[in-house]
Amino acid sequence: MTTALILFAHGARDPEWASPMRRVQAAIRRRRPDLPVELAFLEFMAPTLADCAQALIAGGATKIVVMPMFVARGGHLKRDVPELLASLQAAHPGVELTLGEVAGEQEIVVQAMAEASLQTLGL
């Protein structure tokens, strides 16, 4: 089984917006140089989730984990993204597609946001 990771973010018109996602991608590549890890976007930026997943599958991925780089779980994550995943899954029944928990809901990220706030205050 060849596993790949997609960091899936909202996207914005400003190209600089994706900078934190590129830094997360670079941090993962430093720790796991063997793991394919790509960015994909819901709106405004390329590639889409479907294009990104198809490229990874064409490259041999048989398991893809999609990590939502969102601060919280709103309508996009409750409705649009599960629908996107379901249609991708239907198109690629031989691939294991998994949607991870939203970044901002993960305990390690919650604690990091608390720590970053206290650091900013100088506390």
Structure tokens at 47: 């590639």
Chain residues 60-99 in contact with its own copies, contact rule CB under 8 A: 65, 67, 69-75, 78
Which residue out of 4, 9, 10, 45 is catalytically annotated? Answer: 10
C-alpha dihedral, 87 to 92 to 96 to 98, nearest 10°: -20
Residue 45 as a binder of its own copies (CB under 8 A): the answer is no
Q: 92 catalytic, yes or no?
A: no
CA 117 to chain centre: 24
Peptide bond into 82 cis (omega under 30): no
Least distance to its own copies, CB of residue 80, Å: 13
Pick one of 39, 40, 57, 103: the residue that binds its own copies (CB under 8 A): 103
DSSP-derived secondary structure for 56-74: HHHTT-SEEEEEE--SS--
Chain residues 20-39 in contact with its own copies, contact rule CB under 8 A: 20-21, 23-24, 27-28, 31-32, 35, 37
Pick one of 19, 51, 82, 87: the residue that binds its own copies (CB under 8 A): 19
